[in-house]
Chains A and B, each alone.
Chain A
Amino acid sequence: MLIDVHAHFFPERSARADWREYNASRLRAGERIGITVHLNSVLGTFGRSSPTYFPSPADVTYGNEWAFGLQREQPRRVRTYVCVNPNYPDHALAEIERGRAAGAVGIKLAASRRATDPLLDPICAAGARHGLPILHHIWQHRRRDWPGQEASDAAELCHLAARHPTVHFILAHIGGGGDWLHSLAVVSRHGNVLVDLSGSGVDGGMLEACLAAVGAERLLWGTDMTMETGWAKLRYLERLLPPEPLELIRWKNAARIFPPRSFPGD
């Protein structure tokens, strides 16, 4: 089994005219790589009618609804994170409840509000209540504000993780830009934070550093926007690790932190 904990499919009402081809390409590449389940989050309209990282409540609802529909269409190979914008707390909590009813297995926090902000607490409390892990977009070692997002880094995520010790947090795309060494140094001390290996970065030494910082027990395999880099990291790990820790990264860690029966055969 191979679970991609960080996948995006684009909805019809997104900023991409080629959304159908993009989604088909993800599924096709997934078959070739051997991905059993794509864990999908849809960030509103991905910029078409509100910003990707600051989706309006209407876009959040639309994106989630589209994602639930995709899960119904692809019940064997697609699961859903319900995406929320913490600046609208009541709406966010309602979306989480709606997501649970529709079969969502996790919560996606993008970059609408810094992870240290108390507005995230009710969302994390909902995650704790329902046993839903939270995938949090991260800029590895954010040295300044970047346009288009209110990004958090590992230190900021770990503040949040310390306030909610019963919730599993997934630090998004360690290879997705920024100083991953900084993130690894921070997360090593926070047992409820797992590291998602996705992102376009395939730096020599990165995987060894991940294993040294958090061990195979806290690594999750994923792709995000570049599936070849995910496959490359998996191939590298296959040479680096014996079968048992490799299985943890491929799917067992995900099966452990997501709700029971989230995945086939689970």
Chain B
Amino acid sequence: MRLDVNGFLGAYPWRRVPGTSPEALLAAMDRTGIDTAWVTHLPSLFWRDPTEGNTWLYEAADAHERLEPVPCVHPALPHWEEALSDAATRGAPAVRCDPHHFGLAPVGDEMRVLAAACGAAKLPLLMTVRLEDARQRHPHDLVPELAAASVRALLRSDPDVRLVITHADRPFIEEVHWGSTAAEQARVWWDIAWIWGPPEDHLAHLIATVGVERFVFGTGQPLRIPENAVAKLDLLDLSQRDRAAIESGNVTQGVLG
């Protein structure tokens, strides 16, 4: 079982990206042995009301059982609690709020309230550090990257909040992990999409130091080719048990447990 927590559907505004339809994503999943993908409606991240894409997302997920919806919630909009409630009712595995994309202070009152509400609803909150390498972004794409300090602050803001952070690299993960208590560390999971393999061996190092239980399989597809996440696992000397934990067990027994 291989579960991708970091998938998108729909067009990217800053460059042409092929394969953004549900059918194309499923074909890429077939190609790379991915059974299930958590997906967000990518254009929504750039809309004034990001929840406007959620209906389409739910319909797409309803039509394709291997796709699970991760809808957007914008805690500064008046209907945000309804969006969160819908997510719980529709069985979404997590909700998404990328504060910088939504124009929110990443640890401001709205985000703290959302974190607490997600904790109460037992819905993990998913956020990305970045969508693209800063060196290649469109000149008008000026959205700041999520800071490690923001993740630490959100973890501390509510004892029940669980975070899934995508596209973080080794320094970011280490800064949060070693800057948190054991109880806080246990409420955040990292996808492997942006962590380097050999010869730097960042992923191998993090598994050895931070612990295999903190990592989940994520690709960033179709913004990034999913072969990358599979290749970095294939380059690790992992037991079957640890590999299965990263590929799905840490989600089913940790994030959703």
Contact = CB atoms under 8 A, between A and B. Distances in A.
B231 A228 contact: yes
Interface residues of A, number: 36
Interface stretch (A105-113, A114-122, A200-208): A200-208
B197 A227 contact: yes
B198 A232 contact: no
B133 interface: yes
Nearest to B197: A228
B200 A226 contact: yes
Interface stretch (B16-24, B111-119, B244-252): B16-24
B42 to A, nearest CB: 11
A229 interface: yes
Give the most central of A21, A180, A226, A228: most B CB within 10 Å.
Answer: A228
A225 B18 contact: no
A29 B225 contact: no
A178 B225 CA distance: 18
A97 B201 CA distance: 36
B196 A181 contact: no
Given A177-B136, A178-B135, A205-B16, A232 B199 contact: no
B228 A229 contact: yes
A203 B223 contact: yes
Nearest to A205: B18
Interface string A1-30: 000000000000000000001110110110
A179 B197 contact: no
B28 to A, nearest CB: 9
A32 B234 contact: yes
B136 A204 contact: no
A179 B199 contact: no
Nearest to A7: B199
B133 to A, nearest CB: 6
A143 B139 CA distance: 10
A232 B219 CA distance: 12
A41 interface: no
Contacts of A202: 224-225, 227-228
A93 B222 CA distance: 46
Contact of B196 (A200, A203, A231): A200
Nearest to B19: A204
A79 interface: no
Nearest to B194: A200
Contacts of A80: none
Interface of A: 21-23, 25-26, 28-29, 32-33, 139-140, 143, 177-181, 200-205, 207-208, 225-229, 231-233, 235-236, 239
22 contacts: A22-B200, A23-B199, A28-B198, A29-B198, A140-B136, A177-B133, A180-B136, A200-B133, A202-B228, A203-B224, A204-B224, A205-B16, A227-B198, A228-B196, A228-B228, A228-B232, A228-B235, A231-B231, A231-B234, A232-B225, A232-B231, A235-B231
